[in-house]
Amino acid sequence: MTSPRFDRQVRFAALGAGGQERLERSSVLIVGCGALGGSLAMTLVRSGIGRVVLVDRDVVELSNLPRQVLFEERHLGHAKVQAAAESLARIGGPTRVEAHALHLDSDNLAELAQGCELVLDGTDNLATRYLINDFAIDRGVPWIYGGVVGASGLVMPVIPGAGACLRCIFPDPAPPGSLPTCDSAGVLLPAVSAIAALQAGAALRWLGSDAHGRATFQAQLIELDVWQLEAHHVPATRDPDCPCCGRREFPFLDASPHGSAISLCGRNTVQIRPARVPGARPDLERIAQSLAPFVSDARLLDGLLVFRVEELAFTVFPDGRALIEGTSELDRARSLYDRILGS
């Protein structure tokens, strides 16, 4: 028997009591909990999804607040997943939220997605989306692509074996710098809200449907522009020669995740991911003590090590990953990381 909390959802005939019960038994992985991901997480928690797994690599900064609905000024500098989990907990309800302050990669995706029936895209970069697409097709797990830049965005559900995958439509990631980004073109909250609403609606329909309802689910590519008040629907036709769902090649899933350095979208920030040593985790408290004589304001903040050096702000996570704010130069960031923290 469903809770009176969800009475208005149950009255929606396409969902009903049976659909609500299915929602409360379901598990979803949301990759990224910033703009899109935060709106998705809030909607799913308020809708009574049984389990929501959040993974995000970033910390809250001031420019996030106009469009990332789970954060307030008091969260500045904190890991996004922890701040998001705190905000979601205040909503109440039956949802169990699991938060992971990690960079999603080919090494941890399967573990994070374990038991999840659906993956939702709240990311800010193409590489992660192509990784999710590889994983989804390889494991037969549906996912819902979403992306926003400026006042417009795209949504496409990907149902393995029942329609196009991301690489059917976009066979390869666009070359760096060839597409507008939130850094170059900006982004508006209404566009984020509209795209997240379509993703969440598709998620609730998929998770709340029985086998017959899922069989009638029609995947398509949807483009919205909230400034021009325009919407376009493009049939998502499967390419039988698609390198992913056709030939079953998974280069993004097979790629080594170790030792990477990437520039983050929309920020003058580089992320450094050191090569992993199994079972080894840095002692951030000891590192903070050793750095104190040489860098300004080295301290622990909710399990993260933060300090400044050469006018750059470092945030070091428990797995050794670091965000270096104040530069987009990969070589400089990598050099500073190796010099100060070791590779």
Catalytic machinery residues: 182
CA nearest to 56, candidates 317, 269, 250: 317
Check: CB of residue 167 under 8 Å from CB of residue 245: yes
Check: CB of residue 62 under 8 Å from CB of residue 87: no
